């Protein structure tokens, strides 16, 4: 199983029936492929859609029905559309049960930086600051390291996305939470050791007494 | 009857104007109006929009043509030309969280001075802003935004200006239609008055000034 | 012509093609009867309707299509409905060209009091404070006196509706404006003298050099 | 499937609860739900609503039954019983300008701490509030309102909770549906999922908790 699949499958286990969930571009989008059978989850695209379905078959797309990346999507039965004020009212107002997004860095306390590298890459925060500040649960989906460098660091050197800390980080190596404000190893991927996770992590990691293996 | 020729509509917008433009990654952007502004060689615009789309699409056309002096947007990541011009100092970019941007525009159109949002507290977005605590929770005071013109893309317009938007092309359009001195609409279809059911009208006719004719 | 008709007919002369106008309950509602032929005016009901038409014929009303007083209305072709946030966005945001409402008192500077008599009548301000604060033009429609007492007073003794002054007061005796912040007699009703208006008015009245007769 | 029996829905709301109730002079008020609360003898409610309707209609029924301890409303003028109880000290009435009331509710539902409005500046409404000047213009800081329950009246609901409102019965309903911990809907019609077009849904299903069944 590749890294992205491990991450997406594990995060899908966080879904619950009836949840309203926003998936960011990239690995987060893959989570929708692993919704447990029979479970009804509402996916929101912040450009104004609840009920986002898979990309439509060729010849059946419409240019005015897209995801937040501008890519064609389908709308499931029971879908609804709305303007951007409503979209962010849902996000900011506590109606969004979970947001899944990527990260550049997460620090030992759970702070997230995911929207700019000063002087180098300045894409803008888009909806990320509202999502991280407003969602009931914030889950980070990312590879554990970037070019061999740890992404879970002692303290974020990049500008933060929010003062609010994330709830869960899922990588291809581990599941990390932040109980009591400290990065804590909750699960490890099959075949991975605690030592390997520690070596790939700059932040100090508490190891949960009940550290278990990711069921992916 | 509010119809106007495309060229005449674009000609109303002077160099240096502040313009809100609907759309999200080019979806729901008045494409003909944007292209006509490029054709007429407009300069020094301040563009308020969610994003700058991609090169060759929507607002991306204005960026590539050098028509924009400043943009207030939430995301420029998919347009490398915007980033390049910004880093080269040719384009001023004011980045605003998306939910804050739409509320600031709404405040401008709804007669509010601003809103208090938790978004951005404790980040670089807080710089220069007033922090207000309510019931122990910190918020940023984000002020209203207005523009000289709003360029709005609709799916249906009737001849007096009632508008209906389709699917995800709604996005910033109905909010911007409230927040500018002059509102110019490019509609996929222009229909007789009374054809759009009252419950389905999203932007009421009195706020719309011009509709680009299909002639 | 009775007092109400004089007032309504005169205010109708303030209408212009394409205006968005809100009419309060009572005399203001009568203004819609005197829209000049061929002129298109949008009437807004703050409960969520633009395009308010006359009360429908018997048997053709619908309980979910009402004016701000809860009375059945019709919707003209091109009408639209919206929620209360949008309704007051239109009012507060400068989209409403004119509001016509009643008054308990108007003072010499043009301040309006129309929503309560402390300890006696406390109906609440409803939409009046937003209308007076937000409309581009505020026109008061009222009888010149109440039980023989002047309603245009030196200073309002009742709680104000807004710090913003009104633009025009139309009574069955006179049209009064507030250029330079001073109550000024602009027009008198047919058969009425300046002296009569002054006697029925507590506030000092400037008399415009071009005081004319109301064309009703 | 979110349907619930009328009596069970009303029974969820305890004495002393804060309840937002949709409607404007009784139009768009969930009439069966209100009547059931009266039948069950509910007491000490705080009711947030545009108005208290008329005796015998909508919220007027709750007022007459003595179910309400406090109301936050913009207008009580057409219900003499509300005025009588208020002047007798039996009912606390907090009067809020209508445009401010709806924005405070919206702020509560949209995660904003509050808004700045020019309405009420220089009047008794200003009392106890923070005045903030922006660009030389004064505004009042009006804070967000939320409730334990929102009682919402819709024209169409589907079985997962998407809502469509008809004509002037929309009023406060969609805004209140965003601003309460538990949202209970009384709908004229309950239709299968997918029957309401995505563009016509006004309140999205995920914010709705219960729909009163027609059984």
From the number of C-beta atoms within 10 Å of its C-beta (0-12, 13-18, 19+), residue A62 rates as: middle
From the number of C-beta atoms within 10 Å of its C-beta (0-12, 13-18, 19+), residue B68 rates as: buried
Given a cut of 70, the residues of chain D with pLDDT beneath it are none
Least CA distance to D164: which residue of chain A?
A80
Per-residue model confidence as pLDDT tens digits over C85-129: 999 999 999 999 999 999 999 999 999 999 999 988 889 999 999
Q: H-helix or E-strand containing D140?
A: strand D137-143
Given a cut of 70, the residues of chain A with pLDDT beneath it are none
DSSP conformation letters of B132-196: EEETTEEEEEEE---EEEEEEEEEEEETT--EE--GGG-TTHHHHTTSEEEEEEEEEEEE-TT-S
Per-residue model confidence as pLDDT tens digits over D65-113: 999 999 999 999 999 999 999 989 999 999 999 999 999 999 999 999 9
Contacts of D8 (CB under 8 A, 6+ apart): none
Q: Can you read off the two tokens belonging to residue D134? A: 């922006």
Contact D116 B141 (CB under 8 A): yes
D68: nearest Cα among D81, D30, D80: D81
Contacts of C42 (CB under 8 A, 6+ apart): B204, B205, B206, C18, C19, C20, C21, C50, C51
SS3 A174: strand
Distance CA C17, CA C42 (A): 9
Is residue D133 included in any domain, yes or no?
A: no
Least CA distance to C87: which residue of chain B?
B110
Distance CA C22, CA C126 (A): 13
Contact D98 C122 (CB under 8 A): no
Contact B111 C42 (CB under 8 A): no
Domain range holding B33? 2-111+146-212
Is residue D141 included in any domain, yes or no?
A: no
Least CA distance to A84: which residue of chain D?
D110
Is residue D208 included in any domain, yes or no?
A: yes
Nearest to B97 among A65, A85, A125 (CB): A125
Are the CB atoms for C162 and C140 separated by under 8 Å? Answer: no
Cα→Cα distances C123→B53, C107, D76, D77, D99, Å: 52, 21, 5, 4, 16
- CA C18-C20-C21 angle, to 5 degrees, is 125
Please, what are the domains in chain A? 3-213 (3.40.1080.10)
Q: Can you read off the two tokens belonging to residue A46? A: 């912040």
Q: Does pLDDT of B215 surpass 90?
A: no
Chains in touch with B (≥3 Cβ pairs < 8 A): A, C, D
From the number of C-beta atoms within 10 Å of its C-beta (0-12, 13-18, 19+), residue C195 rates as: exposed
SS3 A78: strand
Least CA distance to C135: which residue of chain B?
B111
Chains in touch with D (≥3 Cβ pairs < 8 A): A, B, C
**CATH number of the domain encompassing residue D60:** 3.40.1080.10
Contacts of B6 (CB under 8 A, 6+ apart): B32, B33, B36, B212, B213
Q: b or e along D41-70 (b: 16 or more beta carbons within 10 Å of the residue's beta carbon)? A: ebeebbbbbbbbbbeebbbbbbbbbbbbee
Is residue B138 included in any domain, yes or no?
A: no
- CA D166-D171-D173 angle, to 5 degrees, is 85
Q: Can you read off the two tokens belonging to residue B118? A: 């938790």
Contact C18 B178 (CB under 8 A): no
Q: Please list the pLDDT of chain C residue by residue as tens digits (216 residues).
A: 899 999 999 999 999 999 999 999 889 999 999 999 999 999 999 999 999 988 899 899 999 999 999 999 999 999 999 999 999 999 999 999 999 999 999 999 999 999 999 988 889 999 999 999 999 999 999 999 999 999 999 999 999 999 999 999 999 999 999 999 999 999 999 999 999 999 999 999 999 888 999 999
Is residue D119 included in any domain, yes or no?
A: no
Rg (CA), chain B: 17
Number of domains observed in the structure of chain B: 1
SS3 D76: coil
Distance CA B73, CA B79 (A): 12
The reported pLDDT for the residue numbered A55 is: 87
The reported pLDDT for the residue numbered B74 is: 98
Q: Which of C14, C46, C172, C206 is catalytic?
A: C46
The reported pLDDT for the residue numbered A120 is: 86
Name residue D146's beta-bridge partners. none
Distance CA A178, CA A182 (A): 5
Contacts of C134 in chain B (CB under 8 A): 111
Contacts of C45 in chain D (CB under 8 A): 168
Is residue B189 included in any domain, yes or no?
A: yes
Q: Can you read off the two tokens belonging to residue C34? A: 């005197």
The reported pLDDT for the residue numbered A208 is: 83
Contacts of A66 (CB under 8 A, 6+ apart): A45, A47, A72, A73, B24, B25, B27, B168
Nearest to A70 among B26, B93, B103 (CB): B26
Q: Is the pTM of this model over 0.95?
A: yes
**DSSP character at residue C121:** B
Is residue B136 included in any domain, yes or no?
A: no
Are the CB atoms for A46 and A24 separated by under 8 Å? Answer: no
Where are the alpha helices (H) located in C67-115, listed in sequence order? 84-92
Per-residue model confidence as pLDDT tens digits over B61-111: 999 999 999 999 999 999 999 999 998 999 999 999 999 999 999 999 999
- CA C75-C77-C79 angle, to 5 degrees, is 55
Residue in the structure block whose two tokens are 């029974």:
D11
A14 is annotated as an active-site residue: no
Q: Can you read off the two tokens belonging to residue A113? A: 């930086």
Q: Can you read off the two tokens belonging to residue D33? A: 């739900």
Residue in the structure block whose two tokens are 């999922």:
D193
Is residue D125 included in any domain, yes or no?
A: no
From the number of C-beta atoms within 10 Å of its C-beta (0-12, 13-18, 19+), residue A65 rates as: buried
Candidates D49, D88, D99, D201: best to mutate against C (most CBs of C within 10 A) is D99
Q: H-helix or E-strand containing C184?
A: strand C184-188
């Amino acid at each position: 199983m590749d890294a992205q699949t491990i991450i997406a499958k594990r995060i899908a286990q966080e879904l619950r029936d009836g949840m309203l969930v926003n998936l960011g571009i990239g690995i987060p989008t893959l989570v929708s492929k692993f919704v447990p059978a029979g479970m009804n989850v509402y996916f929101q695209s912040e450009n104004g859609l609840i009920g986002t379905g898979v990309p439509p078959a060729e010849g059946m797309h419409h240019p005015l029905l897209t995801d937040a990346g501008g890519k064609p999507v389908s709308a499931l039965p029971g879908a609804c559309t709305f303007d951007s004020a409503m979209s962010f009212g849902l996000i900011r107002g506590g109606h969004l049960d979970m947001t899944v997004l990527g990260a550049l860095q997460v620090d030992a306390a759970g702070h997230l930086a995911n929207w700019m590298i000063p002087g180098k890459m300045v894409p803008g925060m888009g909806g990320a600051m509202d999502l991280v500040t407003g969602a009931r649960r914030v889950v980070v989906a990312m590879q554990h390291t970037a070019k061999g460098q740890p992404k879970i660091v002692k303290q974020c050197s990049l500008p933060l996305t929010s003062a609010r800390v994330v709830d869960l980080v899922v990588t291809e190596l581990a599941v990390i939470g932040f109980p009591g404000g400290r990065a804590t190893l909750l699960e490890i991927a099959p075949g991975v050791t605690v030592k390997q996770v520690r070596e790939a992590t700059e932040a100090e990691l508490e190891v949960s007494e009940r550290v278990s293996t990711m069921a992916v | 009857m509010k119809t106007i020729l495309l060229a005449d509509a674009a000609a109303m917008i002077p160099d240096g104007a502040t313009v809100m433009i609907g759309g999200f990654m080019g979806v729901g952007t008045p494409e003909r109006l944007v292209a006509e502004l490029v054709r007429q060689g407009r300069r020094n615009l301040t563009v308020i929009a969610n994003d700058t789309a991609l090169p060759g699409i929507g607002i991306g056309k204005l960026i590539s043509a050098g028509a924009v002096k400043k943009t207030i947007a939430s995301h420029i990541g998919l347009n490398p030309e915007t980033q390049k011009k910004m880093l080269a100092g040719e384009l001023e970019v004011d980045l605003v969280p998306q939910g804050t941007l739409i509320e600031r525009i709404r405040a401008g159109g709804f007669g509010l001075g601003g809103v208090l949002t938790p978004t951005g507290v404790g980040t670089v977005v807080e710089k220069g802003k007033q922090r207000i605590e309510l019931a122990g929770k910190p918020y940023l005071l984000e002020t209203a935004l207005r523009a000289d013109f709003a360029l709005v893309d609709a799916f249906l317009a009737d001849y007096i200006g009632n508008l209906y938007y389709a699917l995800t092309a709604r996005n910033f359009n109905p909010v911007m239609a409230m927040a500018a001195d002059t509102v110019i609409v490019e509609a996929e279809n222009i229909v007789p008055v009374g054809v759009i059911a009252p419950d389905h009208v999203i932007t009421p006719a009195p706020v719309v000034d011009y509709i680009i004719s299909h002639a």
